[in-house]
Amino acid sequence: MASGETATAITSTIPQLPNHKVKIKKPGQRSCNEKNEKGKFCGGHLKRWFYAADVLEQECGDVEKAWGAGAEVYRCEFCKTLYLPSPEDARGMNVAGPGQYSIFGFVVPPKDEKAKDEKKA
């Protein structure tokens, strides 16, 4: 697999902003994979960034001009690298990930609203 070529092709198609470094999240990625000048990973948590409410971003305005007012953007808490969501990630999934199945072999069914009403009556 030529992952180096694919990664280079993908990063070259991402529109870079003048004041921000932009990357695409990998499926399930929750921490920053940007390397510093010494070659160490940043490792900061990626948090959903509501740039329209950010005072410093309002002065700059790059992100809103590029993607509009309500785009889904994540930002590293340390190095401030911006991450766009992966097109491979499933929509509607919890930000923390898909979770795990029980090691005991059973799954708790979701609560039914009708069953609650019947118990009350």
pTM of the model: 0.65
CA distance 17 to 67: 11
- Tell me the domain boundaries of the chain: 10-120
In this prediction, residue 13 has a pLDDT band, given cuts at 50, 70 and 90, of: confident
pLDDT value at 8 more than 60: no
CA distance 109 to 111: 6
- Per-residue pLDDT, averaged over 54-82, amounts to 90
Q: Is 72:51 a contact under the CB 8 Å cutoff?
A: no
3-state helix, strand, coil in the chain (%, to 5): 30, 15, 55
Through-space distance between the first and last CA atoms of the chain, rounded to whole angstroms: 61
Phi, psi angles (nearest 5°) of residue 48: -60, 130
pLDDT value at 50 more than 70: yes
Q: pLDDT, tens digit, for every residue of 25-45?
A: 998 899 999 998 999 999 999
